[in-house]
């Protein structure tokens, strides 16, 4: 029998996994998973953040912004993103 049974799952974090049924063991085995790079996860560093695998932690803030939750970033969870260092002043005649 040349039939191959597979199933695809998507995790909460956006990973797509392909599992293949292995008849002798009567179980599912992970065949592949994407993304393979931490920076491939959409929005992984949150608003105003960007990912760079050459830095530690991999999440960084664009210029003029700081991590919203520094403790999370040190734990390599940057999804809370960044906040502006100084608030915009949009009042007046300007």
> Structural domain boundaries of the chain?
1-34, 38-84
Q: Which is nearest to 59 in space by CA: 33, 48, 85, 11? A: 48
19-70 pLDDT, tens digit each:
999 888 888 999 888 877 878 878 889 999 999 989 888 889 999 999 998 8
Looking at residue 20, its pLDDT comes to 92
- What's the order of all strands across the beta sheet hosting 16-22? 6-10, 16-22, 27-34
Looking at residue 58, its pLDDT comes to 86
Q: Which is nearest to 61 in space by CA: 82, 46, 40, 42? A: 82
Confidence of residue 78 (pLDDT cuts 50, 70, 90): confident
Note the pTM of the prediction, 2 decimals.
Answer: 0.58
Looking at residue 71, its pLDDT comes to 86
């Amino acid at each position: 029998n040349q039939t191959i049974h597979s199933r695809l799952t998507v995790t909460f974090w956006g990973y797509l996994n392909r599992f293949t049924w292995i008849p002798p063991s009567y179980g599912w085995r992970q065949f592949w998973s994407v993304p393979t790079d931490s920076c491939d996860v959409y929005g992984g560093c949150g608003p105003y953040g960007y990912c760079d695998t050459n830095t530690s932690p991999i999440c960084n803030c664009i210029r003029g912004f700081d991590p919203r939750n520094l403790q999370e970033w040190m734990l390599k969870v940057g999804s809370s993103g960044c906040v502006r260092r100084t608030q915009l002043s949009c009042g007046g005649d300007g």
